[in-house]
């Protein structure tokens, strides 16, 4: 086992500095599962300690134990050398441990300041809110984070990235000793990430211990001083970031080495399956023209808000075009609803699995057959045997890990959830498959499985449109790449021969001449 070559967390060499926080032999059991088995982990003041592991490895559970949301079945939590018992999140927070959530927990109808101080609004004259102090202190925190928006802005008006800043600002109210970031970049675009990195580095320099959970190797190597790896609920070693490389860490994480296979892209293309001619939706995007051939994977790359998802939704009949036309298989298509789009052989794997892709309270089988009930029913009545056959087929084909078809999809890991969504669409036997951010928030192992699956589908004749904000993903799967910026297609590239620089320029508006000055400088 490769863990033998790495040092144990408790006796790490180098700085002999005592950790600010130690977790010792934490065990957490759920009915039927041991989520954490004797896991130890520590953080020093002023370091970024990355926590890595595939989905289901126990990272989130460990952090929930730390934040007082789960009660461990065994083990100790030591904060500054003293044993603590956190039986609720508030106590953990008061002790100085703050969790920045993967899913945001802001109140959209309130101002930034109110959200930052939610639950601890400054008071005056007994019980009245001290608005002046609230905004002054909020502004101080926002300045510290170098945020560009005002404490009086409504949270609902902010972009996802800015909402995340608010989430972080909220953590600073408690002058935290340890801040846990759980997949903080999952919803950020490449050029928003440096802002987050700056904040994390600022906090680190101020002596805060930082736990950073992420699937993204580049981020981890960029930010962290040490890396700890969990696998299947067990602690699998800690390494100094400076002494290791991506390969070694990946091996620790999944027990095998991982490579992107750029040569395996599909090669045989048929006629145009989808063609857009000057497609426009007022206020969203304008004059979008491109095509996707049968057997081809076209990547659509751009920043969040560039209009990519809106283009997909329009193709899928969810938005009414105000100009231009959509051709399917050479015929002009007038799609007025998603129902018609599905009937025409279009499938959309949406950006947000939980909000748009799945019925979380339904079981795996029912989610899988949802888009194609006609084929598994007779005279309106469901045929459970046929449904089970469909479920088994895709469950086996995609190696979906579930305890059984009765499992509610809400209890599955992100990668398996996404496979259920993809299976749902394959069952409808579509001709055009649109995938919007197909691997967002999915661990490395499942990610490459899904990439392989996408390529395999294209080889069997599907026309595939992949929307992504991750450059390696777009480069790894696409035959051609459409770049979008500010509601317009700015460039089209050969997926095998494009440089990363050219792509970045195209999506940050440097190619745009008619749309005026781009708002943002491209990430250098």
Partner 1 sequence: MIDIKRFMSGSAFIQPIWVFVVAITIFFSIMSDYFLSVGNLTNILVQTSTIGLIALGMTYVMINGNIDLSVGATLGLAASLSVGLQDYGITVAVLAAIATGVALGALNGLLVWKTGVNAFIVTLGAMIGVRGLIFVYTEEQSFYASNFAFSDFGASTIGPIPVLAIIFLLCTLAMHLVLKKTGHGRNTFAVGGNPEAAMDAGIRIGRNMMINFMIVGFFAALAGVLLATQMGASTPNLGRDYELWTITAVVLGGTKLTGGYGSIMGTLGGVLAIGVLRNGMNMMQVPAFYVLVILGVILIAVLIIDQQINLKSFKGVQA
Q: How far is the CB of 102 from partner 1 (least distance, A)?
A: 9
Compute the least distance from the CB of residue 390 to partner 1, in Å. 13
Cβ nearer to partner 1, comparing 30 with 323: 30
CA-to-CA separations, 262 to 259, 266, 279, 295, 455, in angstroms, rounded: 9, 10, 31, 16, 10
Which residue, 18 or 33, is less far from partner 1 as judged by CB? 33
Please, which residue, 70 or 193, has the CB nearer to partner 1?
A: 70
Rounded to the nearest whole angstrom, what is the least distance from the CB of residue 403 to partner 1 in the complex?
A: 11
In sequence order, the 6+-apart residues with CB closer than 8 A to the CB of 101 are 167, 182
Task: Centre a 10 Å sphere on the Cβ of residue 520 and count the other Cβ atoms it contains.
Answer: 12
On whether the CB atoms of residues 142 and 111 are closer than 8 A, the answer is no
Instruction: Considering the complex, state which of residue 18 and residue 359 has its C-beta at the smaller distance from partner 1.
Output: 359
Cα separation, 196 vs 179, in Å, equals 13
Residue with Cβ nearer partner 1 (139 or 375): 375
Binding site for partner 1 (CB under 8 A): 30-31, 33, 35, 56, 60-61, 64, 316, 318, 337-339, 341-343, 348, 350, 355-362, 366, 370-371, 373-374, 377, 380-382, 410-411, 424, 428
Minimum CB separation of residue 128 from partner 1 in Å reads: 33
| Closest to partner 1 by CB, 67 or 303 | 67
What is the phi-psi region of residue 404: left when phi exceeds 0, alpha when psi lies from -120 to 50, beta otherwise? Answer: left
The neighbour count for residue 321, using CB atoms within 10 Å, is 22
Residue whose C-alpha is closest to residue 94's, from 177, 20, 24 = 177
Nearest approach, Cβ of 300 to partner 1 (angstroms)? 18
The distance of closest approach from Cβ of residue 477 to partner 1 in the complex, given in angstroms and rounded to an integer, is 22
* Nearest to 197, CA basis, from 229, 227, 165: 165
Q: Which uninterrupted H or E stretch holds 415? A: helix 414-427
Nearer to partner 1, 185 or 367 (CB): 367
Would you give the end-to-end CA distance of the chain in angstroms? 40
Token reading at 113: 């300041």
For the chain, what's the residue count? Answer: 524
CA–CA distance from 275 to each of 37, 171, 289 (Å)?
53, 48, 7
Residue placing its CB nearer to partner 1 in the complex, 342 or 483: 342
Beta bridge partner(s), residue 129: 123
Residue closer to partner 1 (CB basis): 147 or 368: 368
Residue 205 has φ and ψ, to the nearest 5°, of: -65, -25
Least distance (Å) between residue 385 CB and partner 1: 13
Minimum separation from the CB atom of position 118 to partner 1 (A): 22
CB of 56 to partner 1, least distance (A): 8
Which pair of tokens denotes residue 260?
Answer: 């992107």
Exposure b/e, 58-87, CB count within 10 A at least 16 = b: bbbbbbbbbbbbbebeebebbbeeeebebe
């Amino acid at each position: 086992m490769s863990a033998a070559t790495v040092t144990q967390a408790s006796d790490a060499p180098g700085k002999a500095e005592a950790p600010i926080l130690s977790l010792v032999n934490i065990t957490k059991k759920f009915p039927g599962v041991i989520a954490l088995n004797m896991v130890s982990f520590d953080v020093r003041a002023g370091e970024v300690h990355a926590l890595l592991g595939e989905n289901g490895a126990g990272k989130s559970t460990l952090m929930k134990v730390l934040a007082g949301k789960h009660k461990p079945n065994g083990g100790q939590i030591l904060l500054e050398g003293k044993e603590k018992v956190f039986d609720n999140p508030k106590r953990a927070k008061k002790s100085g441990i703050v969790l920045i959530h993967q899913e945001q927990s802001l109140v959209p109808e309130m101002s930034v300041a109110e959200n930052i101080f939610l639950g601890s609004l400054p008071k005056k004259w007994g019980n009245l809110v001290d608005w002046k102090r609230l905004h002054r202190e909020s502004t101080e925190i926002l300045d510290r984070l170098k945020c560009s928006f005002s404490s009086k802005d409504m949270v609902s008006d902010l972009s996802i990235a800015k909402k995340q800043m608010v989430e972080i600002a909220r953590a600073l109210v408690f002058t935290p000793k340890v801040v846990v970031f759980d997949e903080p970049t999952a919803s950020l675009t490449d050029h928003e990430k440096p802002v987050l990195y700056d904040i994390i580095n600022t906090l680190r320099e101020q002596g805060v211990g930082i736990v950073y959970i992420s699937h993204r190797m580049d981020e981890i190597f960029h930010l962290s001083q040490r890396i700890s790896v969990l696998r299947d609920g067990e602690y699998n070693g800690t390494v100094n970031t400076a002494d290791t490389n991506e390969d070694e860490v990946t091996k620790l994480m999944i027990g095998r080495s991982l490579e992107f296979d750029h040569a395996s892209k599909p090669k045989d293309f048929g006629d145009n399956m989808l063609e857009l001619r000057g497609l426009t939706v007022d206020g969203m995007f304008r004059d979008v023209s491109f095509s996707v051939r049968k057997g081809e994977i076209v990547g659509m790359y751009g920043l969040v808000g560039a209009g990519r998802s809106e283009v997909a939704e329009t193709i899928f009949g969810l938005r009414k075009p105000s100009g231009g036309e959509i051709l399917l298989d050479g015929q002009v298509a007038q799609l007025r609803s998603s129902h018609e789009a599905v009937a025409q052989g279009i499938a959309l794997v949406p950006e947000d699995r939980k909000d748009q892709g799945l019925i979380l309270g339904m079981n795996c089988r029912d989610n899988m057959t949802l888009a194609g009930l006609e084929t598994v029913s007779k005279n309106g009545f469901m045929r459970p045997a046929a449904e089970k056959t469909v479920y088994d087929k895709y469950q086996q084909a995609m190696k979906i890990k579930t305890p059984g078809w009765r499992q509610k999809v809400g209890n599955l890991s992100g990668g398996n959830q996404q496979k259920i969504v993809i299976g749902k669409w394959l069952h409808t036997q579509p001709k055009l498959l649109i995938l919007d951010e197909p691997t967002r928030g999915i661990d490395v192992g499942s990610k490459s499985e899904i990439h392989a699956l996408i390529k395999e589908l294209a080889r069997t004749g599907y026309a595939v449109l992949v929307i992504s904000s991750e450059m390696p993903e777009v480069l790894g799967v696409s035959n051609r790449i459409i770049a979008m910026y500010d509601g317009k297609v700015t460039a089209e590239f050969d997926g095998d021969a494009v440089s990363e620089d050219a792509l970045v320029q195209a999506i940050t508006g440097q190619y745009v001449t008619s749309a005026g000055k781009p708002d943002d400088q491209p990430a250098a």
